[in-house]
Structure formats: structure tokens, C-alpha cells
């Protein structure tokens, strides 16, 4: 049976289509190559996953159905806090300085002082002996600061037959507990020891304050100005203060308007006091002379208190001191009335007595009287 022309064409097309299909043997079907420009499917957000899980867990299970076993999901670890992260503070400061940071800061202070002559401040904590030499010992953080005696105190001119080492050692020991300025001359980081000099720091301060000037060209330190000073030594007859790099002696009479017999009763080494500069002599730059007073830096209590009393009247007070000149009675207002010895004998210190005022001198701030009655001891 002969096929017509159209049927023959149809069979040829079907046969060619079958020839194009690859066989399973000898040739694998290749996966289509992904198009790099094709848009990737976005990964689900972690928060969205957690929210979806919470919604799924919160949905009630239908009655009669078995609850599926909970799936244990691995917990995400928190990132470890960096070792150099700041420590939060309780107060107003945002961070707290750690021990390592403070040690580094202390070392930088010493290095800066050695390179730039920056003045540091510390307290003399001890005096050590290194052979025949005495050393002042201070601490700046964990660093031990040693200052040789000849770089810590001045050598007095009147030696009275004693050796310089003995005088320096004695003077340095009297300055135990004093707050002083110093600069660093050398550092041994391994041993944690640094060497300093107080005298060089004092010289820098003297140049800065006694010869420095303000914007108007006036001296920074001048007669009549009040300034804060640090007590570096106390003896019975007065005190020595560090006044901007200059040690100044202030006698008993300039310490208080009240009568003092021993400066150590009211003052101690390391204490800060307000002083008034009475006189400055800058004629010799290497030897500045200053006269200062503690009592004149404050208000004179006699100016007001003496107005409370009048000659011939009697007032009560407390015996503050008894010496060869008489009995001193502390009256109200912070003034002392000098009285002669009563016939009944010397009253002990702290006794309550009655005083009759015999005289008042407002110019010299003096008041004197006589004890007329001594209260019986309780």
C-alpha cells in the first residue's frame, strides 16, 4: 500500500524528533547551568524564624491528637566580651580604670616628667639609708620613688661641727609625712624604682611664680596676697612651709592671735595652711627671701571680740595656759586675757574662773585683768 506524500512527511518528522532525545546509556542528562544574574531566594530572617516558632508553639493542639516531641534547637552563643572592653562604673563616670590601665598611666606620668620636667607631687613615706646617704621614699602608684637627701632638702649653712651627711639626714627625717614636689631623673621599669629630685622641681616653681607675670605684666606673687602653703616641718618655735618652691619659716607669733607655746599642738607636717605674704625680696634671684604669716591671712578676732568687754566689769572664762608671765584666760570670742596670779594660787589649766577686766588696748589687741573667783572642780 503506497503512502501518500503527506503521510511520508509526517513519519520523517516524528523520526527526527526521536533521534534528538538522548539515550540513558552512555550519556548523562546535564543539569541546566544556573544563571548568575538570576535573583537568589532570600534566606529567612532569624527573628522571623523565632517569631514563627513561637506562633507555632502557641497554637493549641487539636483534641485527641498526640503532641509532637519538642525539637531541641541549638542555642546561639553570645559573643565573648573583648578583653579590652571598658568596665562600667556606678557613679557619674562611664568607665572604671583597671589595675593594668592605672599601672600604664603611672608609668606614662613618670616618663613624661623625665622628658618634659613635669612636676609630680607625693608624700615622703619613709627615709632609708644607703651606706652613708639618706634617701627619701615616695610612691607613685606601684612605683617606688627615691630622692637622695642632697636632692630632697637644702643644706643649712650653720653646721655646728656636724658633717653634711648628718645634717641632711636629720633635716630629711624632720620632713617625714611632708607633701613635696619632684621631677623624675631616671626610671628602672623592671625593678619598679625611679629616681627623683625635689630641689630641681622647687627651682622650676620659683622661676614660674616669683618671676613669672600675668597678662598685665604684674608679678604672680606679690606682697599682701594670700596663698596656700604646705607644712613640711614643725618645731616647737614655729613651722616651715613650702610656698611655691621656697621654704619659709613662720614663727609662733605669726601662727595665731591666741597665745601658743608649742606649734605642734595646733599644726602638723603634711597639713595645708593659708598664709599671707608680708614681704618679698627678689634682689638675689638665687636667694629669694619671703616673710609670711598664718594669722594675718584670717580675720583678727580681737577687732570684734574686744568690743564685747569693758573695763571694770567681770566675765567668765577658761584657763588656757599658765606660764611665768601669768595666767591666760580664754574669753568668749577667741581672745586670751592675761591675768596675774591670784592669791589663792595658780589655777590648773581648764579651770572655770571669773575675771575682772583691768585694761584694754585696741591698737595692740591686748586685754588684761585679775582672777576674782575660781570655780570648784567637779
- Taking only the tens place, the pLDDT of each residue in 53-81 is 555 444 555 554 455 555 566 655 555 55
Alpha helices in 274-336 (DSSP H): 301-305
Mean pLDDT within 79-107: 72
The dihedrals phi and psi of 354, each to the nearest 5 degrees, come to -110, 130
pLDDT, position 363: 83
Region of 171 (left: φ > 0; alpha: ψ -120 to 50; beta: rest) is: alpha
Please provide the DSSP assignment of 102-142 as one string.
HHHHHHHHHHHHHHH---EEEE--EEEEETTEEEEEEEETT
User: What band does 85 get if pLDDT is binned at 50, 70 and 90?
Assistant: low
Mean pLDDT of the chain: 82
Q: Are 256 and 262 in contact (CB under 8 A)?
A: no
pLDDT, position 349: 86
Work out the burial of residue 105: count CB atoms within 10 Å of its CB; fewer than 13 is exposed, 13-18 middle, 19 or more buried.
exposed
pLDDT in tens, 223-272: 999 999 999 999 999 999 999 999 999 999 999 888 788 999 899 999 99
pLDDT in tens, 190-216: 999 999 999 999 999 999 999 999 898
pLDDT, position 324: 80
pLDDT, position 342: 78
Tell if the pTM clears 0.85, that is, is over it.
Answer: no
Q: Are 156 and 163 in contact (CB under 8 A)?
A: no
Whole-angstrom distance, CA of residue 147 vs CA of residue 180: 11
User: Which H or E element spans position 184?
Assistant: strand 179-188
Is residue 32 predicted with pLDDT exceeding 50? no
Domains, the chain, with CATH or none = 99-198 (2.40.50.140), 211-297 (2.40.50.140), 302-374 (2.40.50.140)
pLDDT, position 303: 82
CA 342 to chain centre: 54
Please provide the DSSP assignment of 214-262 as one string.
-TTS-BSS-TT-EEEEEEEEEETTEEEEE-SS-EEEEEGGGT-SS--S-
Q: Are 266 and 260 in contact (CB under 8 A)?
A: yes
The dihedral over CA atoms of 169, 173, 174, 176, expressed in degrees to the nearest 10, equals 140
319: Cβ contacts below 8 Å, ≥ 6 apart: 327, 328, 329, 330, 347, 348, 349, 350, 351, 353
Mean pLDDT within 2-22: 52
pLDDT, position 344: 75
- For Cα atoms 342, 346, 352, give the angle at the middle one, nearest 5 degrees: 85
pLDDT, position 172: 95
Widest distance between CA atoms in the chain: 175
User: Which H or E element spans position 368?
Assistant: strand 366-374
pLDDT, position 94: 65
pLDDT in tens, 298-339: 888 888 888 889 999 999 999 988 888 889 999 988 889 999
Is residue 282 predicted with pLDDT exceeding 90? yes
Whole-angstrom distance, CA of residue 178 vs CA of residue 272: 10
Give the side-chain half-sphere CA count within 13 A for 200: 17
Closest CA to 171 of 183, 161, 156: 156
Amino acid at each position: 500500500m503506497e503512502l501518500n506524500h503527506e503521510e511520508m512527511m509526517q513519519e520523517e518528522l516524528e523520526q527526527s524528533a526521536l533521534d534528538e532525545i538522548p539515550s540513558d546509556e552512555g550519556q548523562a542528562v546535564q543539569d541546566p547551568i544556573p544563571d548568575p544574574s538570576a535573583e537568589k531566594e532570600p534566606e529567612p530572617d532569624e527573628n522571623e524564624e523565632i517569631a514563627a516558632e513561637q506562633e507555632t508553639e502557641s497554637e493549641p493542639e487539636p483534641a485527641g491528637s498526640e503532641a509532637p516531641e519538642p525539637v531541641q534547637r541549638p542555642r546561639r552563643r553570645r559573643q565573648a566580651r573583648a578583653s579590652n572592653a571598658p568596665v562600667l562604673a556606678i557613679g557619674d563616670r562611664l568607665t572604671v580604670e583597671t589595675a593594668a590601665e592605672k599601672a600604664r598611666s603611672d608609668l606614662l606620668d613618670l616618663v613624661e616628667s623625665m622628658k618634659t620636667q613635669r612636676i609630680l607631687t607625693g608624700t615622703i613615706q619613709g627615709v632609708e639609708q644607703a651606706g652613708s646617704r639618706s634617701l627619701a621614699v615616695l610612691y607613685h602608684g606601684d612605683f617606688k620613688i627615691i630622692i637622695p637627701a642632697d636632692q630632697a632638702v637644702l643644706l643649712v649653712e650653720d653646721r655646728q661641727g656636724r658633717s653634711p651627711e648628718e645634717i641632711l639626714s636629720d633635716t630629711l627625717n624632720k620632713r617625714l609625712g611632708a607633701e613635696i614636689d619632684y621631677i623624675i631623673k631616671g626610671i628602672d621599669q623592671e625593678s619598679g624604682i625611679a629616681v627623683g629630685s625635689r630641689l630641681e622641681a622647687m627651682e622650676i616653681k620659683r622661676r614660674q611664680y616669683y618671676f613669672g607675670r600675668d597678662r598685665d605684666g604684674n608679678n604672680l606673687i606679690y606682697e599682701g596676697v594670700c596663698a596656700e602653703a604646705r607644712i613640711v616641718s614643725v618645731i616647737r618655735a614655729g613651722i616651715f612651709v613650702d610656698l611655691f618652691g621656697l621654704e619659709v619659716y613662720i614663727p609662733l607669733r605669726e601662727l595665731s592671735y591666741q597665745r601658743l607655746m608649742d606649734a605642734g599642738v595646733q599644726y602638723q607636717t603634711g597639713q595645708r595652711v593659708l598664709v599671707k605674704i608680708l614681704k618679698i625680696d627678689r634682689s638675689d634671684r638665687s636667694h629669694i627671701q619671703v616673710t609670711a604669716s598664718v594669722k594675718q591671712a584670717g580675720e583678727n578676732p580681737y577687732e570684734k571680740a574686744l568690743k564685747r568687754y569693758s573695763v571694770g566689769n567681770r566675765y567668765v572664762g577658761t584657763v588656757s595656759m599658765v606660764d611665768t608671765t601669768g595666767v591666760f584666760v580664754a574669753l568668749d570670742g577667741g581672745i586670751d586675757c592675761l591675768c596675774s596670779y591670784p592669791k589663792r594660787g595658780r589655777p590648773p589649766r581648764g579651770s572655770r574662773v571669773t575675771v575682772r577686766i583691768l585694761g584694754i588696748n585696741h591698737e595692740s589687741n591686748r586685754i588684761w585683768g585679775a582672777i576674782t573667783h575660781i570655780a570648784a572642780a567637779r
